[in-house]
Structure 1
C-alpha cells in the first residue's frame, strides 16, 4: 500500500476549495486513517497517531463551552495525529496552535459533507490507484462541463490550477503562449518556456510536464504544468487538462473557420463587382463589424516559407487576426492561395497607410517566419477595392525582387515599374528590350560576366566612376573596360543622354519581364 500524505489527502480526497489555514510545513506527514468526533466526550477515542481528524466548529461547541478548535489542536497534537480538517471559522488562536505544532489545519468549504469527505479519505487510503483514477475522471467531467458552459481557455486553466496547486500554461503548436495561470517561480518558468515537444524537463528550477494537445499531424498545441516535486496526480490532471483543452481549441478553430469563411465570402462578394443595392452592402458590412464608409487599403500577408501547407496558412491567418485585434482594427479578411488578403480601414486623412501597415508588421514578425507584407493605394470606397488589390499584388510580385522585404512592400514605391507593369505583356516593350539589352543579357549568361551588374552600379551611382567601382569592389580601370564592352555589345553610347536613358529603362524592363513565365527566354 502506497504511503498517503496530508498533501495527497488535500488534493485527492477532500472537497474542492479546501485550503491550508495553518501548519503548512506538516503537509508531508503520513496519514494512516480518518476519524470524526463522537457526539459525547471524549470526542476522539482510541487514537493511535497518524490519523486525520474531520470536525465542524459547531459540533465542537455542542460538546461544551470549554471545547474550542484551539484546545482540540493542542490535545490532538500530543497524540500526535497528522492533520485536522475543519468546517467553520478558524480562529487566530487555532491557527497559532497549529503553526506551533506544525500540524496542518485544513479549512473545508462551507456546506461540505463531512461523511462524504470521510469516505473519500478512506477510499484513498484503501486503494490509492483507484481513487487517483476516480478523481482524474471527476476532473475530466468537470473540465468538459466548464468548456460546454463557455468558460473558454482561461476558465479551464484556472480549474487546473485550483485542482493541482501548480502553475499551468497553454501554448500553440509552435510554442507561442496562449494562456497562463501561475504565480512566482512557476510563472516565470512558464513565461519563458517555448515547448515544441512533449515530455518531462527542468526549466529555471521548476519541474515541467508538457502534454500535447491532439495527436500527430492534428496536434494543436501544448499544455505545461510547472512546480516542485510533480507527482502522479499532476500527471493525471495534466492529461485530463490536455484532453479538455484539445476539445476547446478544436471548438475554437471550428468557430474561427466559420467566421473566416463568412468574412471571405463577404470580401469575395465585394470584389465580384458593385451590388445593385449599395446600402444593403453597407448594412451587411456593419453586421460583420466593418465600417465600409471609411477608406481602406488592400494588404497581402504571406510567408516565403508558407508554401501550400494548410497549417502554415492557418498560422498566418490566426496571427493576422490576433494582430488586428491587438490594434483594435475591424478589417475584412480572406484567405488566398498566396496568403491572406486584408482590407485595412483608415481613420481619416491623418493616418498614413504605410505607418499602419508597419505597425501590423511589427506585431506579426515574431509570429510568422519570413513575413512579407504588401499594400496597394488607398481605396476611397468599396468600388475601388479591386484596384487596390491589383496594386498590392503587383507590389508583392515585383517588391520581392526589387525592394527590401524587411519593410512593407508599397505599390507607391515601385516608381517607373508601375508604368512598365502596364506594358509588361506588350510586344513593344519586348521589342524595346531586345534592341537594347538582350545582347548584354546573352553575353552575361554565356560568358558568366557581370555587365548587367556593372551597368546597374553605374546608374545607381549616377555615373560617378569612383563610387561605382567601389560599390562593385573593382579597380577603376576594370570598370572602364566593362563599360567599353557594354558599348560594343549593346551598340549604345553611355555618353549620349538618349541612349543612356534607353539602357536605364531597359534595365528596369528586364526586371519586370523576369516576372513573366517567358523569363527563361531572356
Structure 2
C-alpha cells in the first residue's frame, strides 16, 4: 500500500472523487470517477471495473494499471476468482495475497504479478435484482482489506452503479431525442421534397428532374425503370423488393405494368418514403397517359380537319390547335412517314419518341396507313437539316423499312391540305419509285409535284405504263432495248448520230429500233404533241414507276 497519509487528506481525496462521480456527465465518466474514488477509499494502487454478462465478467475500464491495453481484453468466467464469488454471493470478497489464494485464476494471477500487485478486493455493483458489475481494487503491498474499507467500497460501488445507470438513461433519452429530431427533420425534408416533386410534375418539369430532386435529398441515385426506362427484366415481381448487392432497392410503381423505382447507393430514407414517391410517380405517369391519349385524339381530329376540312372548318382549327399546344402561326413542314405496311400505334409511339427527341414541339398522327409529322421549322437552318434528321430517324426505326416524304412548309391552316398530298406523293416516290430513296423532298421533284394533285403515284404509274406497254412487252419478250433507245433518242432531240454514239450502236441499228418503236406505239415522232406525251410518260416512269418492272 502507499505510504501512510493523514486521515484528513484521505477524506479530502474521497470527497473529491465522490464529487467527480456525482458531476460525471456520461456513464463512462462515472466509471472513471468511481475507480479514482475507490483507490482513494481503499488506499489502493489500482482499480478496475468489470461488467457481468452471460459468459462472465468483461473489463470496462481500469485506473493505475501500467499496462492497461493488456487488461482491456480480460475475461473472468462467471464461477471463478473473486469476481465469481461476488456474483454468486452478492457480497464483497478479498484476499491479502492473490497469487497464494486458491480462488485465483491463473491468467489473472500472471497479469497482477506482471504489474507487481498482491492484495485484492472485489465488491458488487448491484442492479435492481442482481449484480450488474464488479469493482476491483488491488495493491502492491500484502495486507488484508479491512471490513470498514469493504463496506465503504460497497457503498461507493452502489452509488456509482446507480449514477452510471442514470447517466446511461440520460444518454438513451438524449439519443432518443436526437433520433426524434432527426425523424422530424427527415419528415420535414421529405414533406418539402414531396411538395417540390408534385409542383415540378404539375409544372411539366419532367420525371427526370423530379427523380434528381429525390436523389439529392436522399443521397442516392434514383431511376425509373420499366416501360419508361429500360425494358423490364423477365420475371420481375409485381411487389416491392430490396437487394443488398450494391445497395440497390427496387419498388413497384403503382398503376403501371411492371415499372420500378430503383435506388442505388446508401439512401438515407426508409422504404415507406420511397413508396410515397413511387405513388407520386405512378400518378404522374397516369396523368401523362391521359394527356397523351387526349392529345392523340385531338391531334388526329386536327390533322384530319387539315386534310379535308372546308373553309368553315379551317376557321375553327385555330382554337382546336391551341388545345394540343399547336400554334398554327409557327411554320411547319408536313412530313409523311410510311412503308409497305400501315403504321400502327406501337410504331407511331417509336416515331414520336425519335422525332420529339430532336424537336419537342412536333405533332404526330396516323392517316390512311401513314404517319404524318407536323415539324416546326423556325428558320432556314432547321429546314436544311430536316432531311438529315429524318434519314437518321428512319435508320433508327429498323427493322421497319420506312421512308419519309417532305412536303412544303405551311404557314396558314389553308396550306395544309395541299401540303399533305404533296408529302404523301414524295413518300410514294421514295418507297415505290424506281429510284429507291429513304427520304424524298417534294422540292426535289420539281414540276412533278403537280401530279400529287391529280391521282397520286399509283394512277400516274399506271398511266405511264399504259402509254409504254407495247414497248415494255417487246423488251420483256425479246430482250431488246427499245425503251432505253426511245428515251435516249428523245432526250438527244432526235439527233441520230449523237444518239447512236450514246448507245454505242450503228446509226442503221438506231433507225431500225426507232421504226419498230413507232409501229408498236402507233405514233409519229414528227408530231410535237406525240413526242411531248411520250417523253412525259418516260419521265413519270422513271419517277413513279414500280420497281418490280411492270
TM-score range, shorter chain: 0.3 to 0.5
The normalised TM-score by structure 1 is 0.48
What is the TM-score when the length of structure 2 is the normalising length? Answer: 0.46
